[in-house]
Amino acid sequence: YIHVPFAWLAMMCYTIMAISALGTLVWRHPLADVALKSAAPIGATFTALALITGSIWGKPMWGTWWVWDARLTSVFVLFLMYLGIIALT
């Protein structure tokens, strides 16, 4: 019951980051940059937890820890994007 809330929270953090990046680029608002930098580690944590709990749930269902499905791969790419933002800031 915790896998889906982790995934939703990760997507919510990604949305906050996208809106903050837009606010930083368009209006040069300094608070938007702070929101972007603070949402990235939180989103990375939720994404990692969603991937871990999804793998635990998927092992008995699929017989393997990881399947290269489009949804799983896109969440993994989202996780890499979070790590990239963290590394660049």
Could you state, in chain order, the average pLDDT of each consecutive group of 10 residues for the chain (89 residues)?
A: 92 94 93 93 95 93 92 92 90
| Domain count across the chain | 1
DSSP label at residue 50: H
What pLDDT does 1 receive?
76
Closest CA relative to residue 51, chosen from 69, 30, 38: 69
Q: Is 36 exposed, middle or buried (0-12, 13-18, 19+ CB in 10 A)?
A: buried
| Contact status, residue 6 vs residue 53, Cβ threshold 8 Å | yes
Say if pTM beats, i.e. exceeds, 0.85: yes
Structural domain boundaries enclosing 56 = 3-88
pLDDT at res. 89: 83
What confidence score (pLDDT) does residue 78 get?
87
